[in-house]
Amino acid sequence: MESDVREPAIRTIMMPRDTNPLGCIFGGHIVSLIDQAAVQCAINVANRNFVTKLIKDVEFIEPVNVGDVVTFYGKVTSVGRTSVCVRIDVEAQHMKGAMPPKSVTSAELVLVAVDDEGKPIPVKN
Ligand SMILES: CC(C)(COP(=O)(O)OP(=O)(O)OC[C@H]1O[C@@H](n2cnc3c(N)ncnc32)[C@H](O)[C@@H]1OP(=O)(O)O)[C@@H](O)C(=O)NCCC(=O)NCCS
């Protein structure tokens, strides 16, 4: 089932502790939040435990800066038997909000519903 809804799964302010040596936000921090946002979207489809199978097509479009308010929008693109595919689009806006939000990163993820032993289970009963 594909959804047209673009959900703001996470919105957070970027902190100095998450910078790289150049002073902008470390890409791995953004990917970690993308992963968490995608799990939120999958849980909205079905209340299961999900693990990340695949993160692909990660594109860092523009740098993210300390103090930016960053929003992770998720869209469920398909639901399989045991997997959910999610697209995440990340937008950043300076905390004082003088400029409109800009697109900074995007990615596609596959999450798999698992049981207590970590084995794939149907997303829906
Ligand atoms: C996720 C995991 C349980 C899947 O096991 P698996 O043996 O690949 O399971 P399956 O082959 O049955 O595939 C499960 C689903 O993933 C999909 N899938 C598997 N490999 C895929 C790939 N490379 N790309 C896209 N989808 C894939 C399958 O199509 C299937 O979806 P469907 O049932 O909707 O058709 C296992 O790979 C695992 O435990 N991986 C580690 C997860 C992890 O630690 N993640 C990081 C922390 S959350």
Residue-wise pLDDT for 86-95, tens only, equals 999 999 999 8
Question: Does residue 95 lie in a domain region?
Answer: yes
Asked if residues 93 and 21 have their Cβ atoms less than 8 Å apart, the reply is no
Residue-wise pLDDT for 47-75, tens only, equals 999 999 999 999 999 999 999 999 999 99
Question: Does residue 122 lie in a domain region?
Answer: no
Question: Does residue 2 lie in a domain region?
Answer: no
* Ligand 1 centre distance from Cα of residue 5 (Å): 25
* Ligand 1 centre distance from Cα of residue 65 (Å): 34
CATH number of the domain bearing residue 63: 3.10.129.10
- Specify the ligand 1 atom closest to the Cα of 83: 34
Question: Does residue 121 lie in a domain region?
Answer: no
Confidence (pTM):
0.95
Question: Does residue 1 lie in a domain region?
Answer: no
With a Cβ cut-off of 6 Å, ligand 1 is lined by 51-54, 80-83, 110, 112, 114, 118, 120
Question: Does residue 71 lie in a domain region?
Answer: yes
Residue-wise pLDDT for 20-47, tens only, equals 999 999 999 999 999 999 999 999 999 9
Question: Does residue 47 lie in a domain region?
Answer: yes
Q: Given its phi and psi angles, is residue 17 left (phi above 0), alpha (psi -120 to 50 degrees) or beta?
A: alpha
CB-based burial of residue 30 (10 Å sphere; 0-12 exposed, 13-18 middle, 19+ buried)? buried
Question: Does residue 125 lie in a domain region?
Answer: no
Among protein residues, the one whose CA lies closest to atom 19 of ligand 1: 53
- High-pLDDT (> 70) share of the chain, %: 96
Containing domain of residue 74, as a range? 7-114
Tokens 């791995």 correspond to: 28
Ligand 1 binding pocket mutation candidate from 112, 117, 124 (most atoms within 8 A of CB): 112
Question: What is the count of structural domains for the chain?
Answer: 1
